[in-house]
Amino acid sequence: MSDIVIKAENIGKLYKLGEIGTGTISHDLNRWWARVRGKEDPFTKIGQANDRTVKGDNDWVWALQDINFEVKQGEVLGIIGRNGAGKSTLLKILSKVTTPSTGRIKVKGRIASLLEVGTGFHPELTGRENIFLNGAILGMTKAEIKSKFDEIVDFAGVERYIDTPVKRYSSGMYVRLAFAVAAFLEPEILIIDEVLAVGDIEFQNKCMGRMKDVSINDGRTVLFVSHNMAAISNLCNSLCLLDRGGIEYLGDVEEGVNRYMQYSKTKGVEIINRIAAQNSLLKHELFELISIRLLQDDQEGVEFVTNRDVKIKFLYRVEKTIIGLRIGFDIVELKSGITVFRSFHDDRKESKTHESGEFENTATLPANLLISGSYNLKIVIGIHNVGWITNDEISILIQTHNTTGINSQYADNRPGVILPAIDWVSKKNN
């Protein structure tokens, strides 16, 4: 059909983990020789599904596999999925940042991509120079860029710094200007990854309004990746749910969001079951997270009533003394993607010495802390002033139900309402 602007046919992307390129010259030669003879890449046969929570048998993994879809002109396609599902890889293929290992992409029109903060910007050039550089990359004439220049600067709100090298911009200023350039230089297709989370609320609202205007009034196509289900529901008119490198669902937005939430809940149960089966969840040279247990009234699960305490038990082993170990979690409201709060077992500013051995830390979420809904419990473990041990690897969806009709006294965001301290209890196992 003539109104189809993006068509993906059997797209696959194969990576070798832990290496640059394909690892060795012999691998490169083998793959090249197979292509010359019109044969299948020999390493696609051993590639495994992209599941970041399970250790594979080899280093070859399909980041994407068997991806097929079409996007029409003026359509706003939301792309959602857990971390590591393949969303960013798909956008990079669509943007021609990388090539697919299998299949092909047909694109009709110019593409502007905002895949990370400052995509396409040269740090030594000023904001003004980067606007003209990006416009030229998009194939626009100098006269066309000049005609949009004032609108771009006004939207970005960086007029005072427009002649300053962008390397001196904050991340928020960077993304403001990058989005304004992408949105106002009139590409036929606008591709946006999660970068809008960098901006403030006022700017995010401006971006949502601009994307609606671009699609509805200008008839341009938008591909939008986000973990904010409210933004996806508000902006998109179709949805693609990815999981482990494949399409889990393609179609109606509301149905897709519901499937994602239910799917995340199922995965949360799978993670807990995997912990029990493998007796280990995360290994680091200094630290091993053995298990996480969620309990209410001594019953383990991921569904809880709101009017009783919930206990989160961490069982872990410290291999040798660590200074500044932090063990904690984020509670993230699933639909909005907003972090409700974060809690660590030790919130002191100074770094405390944590001795070696096996420990059990228990955090208690008090009754009526959360309203009824769906939340991601994201495990956050790090070493103060050193770095993170976890990086979004462990996320368990929990569901809360209000059975009493009494709303949380903390969750209505009234001025002056202060969240209670989360009670942590630590003990060392003999």
- pLDDT for residue 47: 45
pLDDT tens profile 45-77: 544 444 544 444 456 678 888 999 999 988 999
Average pLDDT over residues 103-120: 80
Query: Is pLDDT at 192 greater than 80 in this prediction?
Result: yes
Binned at pLDDT 50, 70 and 90, residue 18 comes out as: very low
Query: Is pLDDT at 309 greater than 70 in this prediction?
Result: yes
Binned at pLDDT 50, 70 and 90, residue 16 comes out as: low
Query: Is pLDDT at 21 greater than 60 in this prediction?
Result: no
More confident residue, 409 or 85: 85
pLDDT tens profile 160-174: 999 999 989 887 888
- pLDDT for residue 422: 85
- pLDDT for residue 413: 46
Binned at pLDDT 50, 70 and 90, residue 119 comes out as: low
More confident residue, 264 or 12: 12
pLDDT tens profile 319-331: 888 888 999 998 8
pLDDT tens profile 227-253: 778 788 888 999 999 988 899 999 999
pLDDT tens profile 333-352: 877 777 888 889 887 767 78
Binned at pLDDT 50, 70 and 90, residue 131 comes out as: very high
* 3-state SS string for the chain: CCCEEEEEEEEEEEEECCCCCCCCHHHHHHHHHHHHCCCCCCCCCCCEECCCCCCCCCCEEEEEEEEEEEEECCCEEEEECCCCCCHHHHHHHHCCCCCCCEEEEEECCCEEEECCCCCCCCCCCEHHHHHHHHHHHCCCCHHHHHHHHHHHHHHHCCHHHCCCEHHHCCHHHHHHHHHHHHHHCCCCEEEECHHHHHCCHHHHHHHHHHHHHHHHCCCCEEEEECCCHHHHHHHCCEEEEEECCEEEEEECHHHHHHHHHHHHHHHHHHHHHHHHHHCCCEECCCEEEEEEEEEECCEECCEEECCCCEEEEEEEEECCCEECEEEEEEEEECCCCCEEEEEECCCCCCCCEECCEEEEEEEEECCCCCCCEEEEEEEEEEECCCEECCCCCCEEEEEEECCCCCCCCCCCCCCCCCCCCCEEEEEECC
- pLDDT for residue 173: 86
Minimum mean pLDDT range among 79-83, 94-98, 106-110, 347-351: 347-351
